[in-house]
Amino acid sequence: MHINTKNLKAIQDLYPDELAHCYGCGKSNPDGFQLKTYLVGDETIAYFTPQPKYTALPGSVYGGLIASILDCHGTGSAAAFVCKNEHISLVDATTIPVRCVTALLKIDFKNPTPMGVELELKGKLRSIEGRKIWVDMTLTANGIICATGEILAIRLKD
């Protein structure tokens, strides 16, 4: 079921302008994917429909693209979970003081990811250990989990 995100703020839209050029999720990168991650309750969600140019085998999505969107969903999720943990409201904010980058990303490709359908990415917090944030992720198409991911994001010092 596609969650209505119309009234939610994407975590990437709360990154300060100087950090909004990421190829995967920067709102200021017109050539990038501009992935949007939303915090919904205890989990994060993002939707993305790959263009046909990201084909691997005919009809299926290139694994590098899958890793790319899970990378940005993972860091976005990590930032969102830190905000939740520290009671930083995403509703009232225009920017957030939390920046996370990927230290480790693991993807398991479970099934071919079909081209031409909307992909649903979900994230769940595993743990926050100081500056280390572990997030578990799934990528689903047509109700089938096509990939799972785990990310270790590191919160940057000021």
Ligand X SMILES: CCCCCCCC(=O)SCCNC(=O)CCNC(=O)[C@H](O)C(C)(C)COP(=O)(O)OP(=O)(O)OC[C@H]1O[C@@H](n2cnc3c(N)ncnc32)[C@H](O)[C@@H]1OP(=O)(O)O
Q: Residue 73: which of 42, 110, 48 has the closest Cα?
A: 48
Return d(Cα 92, Cα 87) in angstroms, integer. Answer: 12
Quick one: CA dihedral 156, 151, 20, 68, positive or negative?
positive
CB 38 within 8 A of CB 45: yes
Quick check: 130 binds ligand X (CB under 6 A)?
yes
Residue 111 or 127 having the CB closest to ligand X: 127
Provide the minimum distance between the beta carbon of 58 and ligand X in the complex, in angstroms, as a whole number. Answer: 29
Residue nearest ligand X (C-beta atom)? 103
Binding mask 79-108 for ligand X (x = CB under 6 A): --------------------x-xxxx----
Q: Residue 146: which of 154, 155, 137 has the closest Cα?
A: 137
Q: Which stretch binds ligand X (CB under 6 A): 31-39, 50-58, 116-124, 129-137?
A: 129-137
Residue 124 or 150 having the CB closest to ligand X: 150
**Cα-trace Rg, the chain:** 15
Quick check: 40 binds ligand X (CB under 6 A)?
no
Q: Which residues bind ligand X (CB under 6 A)?
A: 15, 19, 22, 24, 71-72, 75, 99, 101-104, 130-132, 152, 154
